[in-house]
């Protein structure tokens, strides 16, 4: 759901030396499909492209974003989450989203844990309790140019991830025309 076409995003990712990425559009895998088609036509790229999605869900009475990585985009249980809008009702419960991502063979990650009404100190343990696999520990909360993770929030999220045996991921939240800038 950024301004960059997926092909341009892939070209920038290769140019800056990324070894792998996932496009995590909100409630859609269309960007991934486009990037995958482009990626398959490239003869010399060793960059890994994983399927990805960002799904709005309810956890601890607040809306959070759950990232899905490496799942089968054609799995039938994903259909309610790939229609371009936030799920409602029972489908919006975090444990349902996590179970669906797992059923499709993927991993579930709590996105940008320091951006919600609830604290990361409350959300990360709850994410682990509900079966989430990881937390987006590296994220640019202060939107610096060029992108770099925010030190204080990164340290906090990484420490909580370690305490709860969760994977740590990195996200750019790039919605603009440069992979290294948020807007």
Q: Give residue 146's pLDDT.
A: 62
Q: Give residue 63's pLDDT.
A: 97
The answer, yes or no, to whether residue 145 has pLDDT greater than 90, is: no
At residue 151, φ and ψ (nearest 5 deg) are: -60, -50
Angle at 155 between CA 106 and CA 152, to 5 degrees: 125
pTM attached to this predicted model: 0.90
- What secondary structure does DSSP assign to 170-182, as a single string? E-----SS-TTS-
- What secondary structure does DSSP assign to 11-59, as a single string? HHHHHTT-SEEE---BT--HHHHHHHHHHHT-SS---EEE-EEEEEEEE
Which of these ranges, 36-45, 63-72, 100-109, has the smallest mean pLDDT? 36-45
Q: Give residue 174's pLDDT.
A: 63
Q: Give residue 147's pLDDT.
A: 60
Please say whether the beta carbons of 59 and 108 come within 8 A: no
- Once rounded to an integer, what is the mean pLDDT over residues 156-165? 95
- Give the tens place of pLDDT for each residue, 36-52: 999 999 877 788 999 99
Please say whether the beta carbons of 101 and 81 come within 8 A: no
Enter the DSSP assignment of 63: E
The answer, yes or no, to whether residue 144 has pLDDT greater than 70, is: no
- The position carrying tokens 């999605």 is 53
């Amino acid at each position: 759901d950024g301004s960059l076409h997926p092909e341009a995003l892939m070209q920038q990712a290769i140019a800056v030396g990324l070894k792998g990425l996932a496009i995590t559009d909100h409630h859609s895998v269309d960007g991934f499909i486009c990037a995958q088609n482009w990626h398959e036509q490239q003869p010399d790229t060793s960059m890994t492209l994983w399927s990805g999605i960002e799904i709005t869900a309810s956890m601890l009475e607040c809306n959070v974003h759950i990232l899905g990585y490496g799942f089968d985009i054609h799995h039938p249980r994903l259909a309610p989450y790939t229609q371009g809008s936030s799920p409602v009702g029972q489908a919006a419960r975090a444990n349902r989203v996590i179970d669906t991502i797992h059923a499709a063979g993927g991993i579930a990650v709590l996105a940008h844990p320091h951006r919600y009404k609830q604290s990361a100190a409350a959300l990360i343990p709850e994410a682990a309790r509900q079966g989430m696999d990881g937390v987006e520990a590296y994220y640019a909360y202060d939107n610096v140019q060029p992108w770099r993770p925010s030190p204080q929030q990164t340290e906090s999220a990484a420490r909580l991830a370690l305490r709860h045996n969760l994977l740590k991921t990195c996200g750019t939240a790039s919605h603009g025309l440069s992979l290294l800038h948020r807007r």
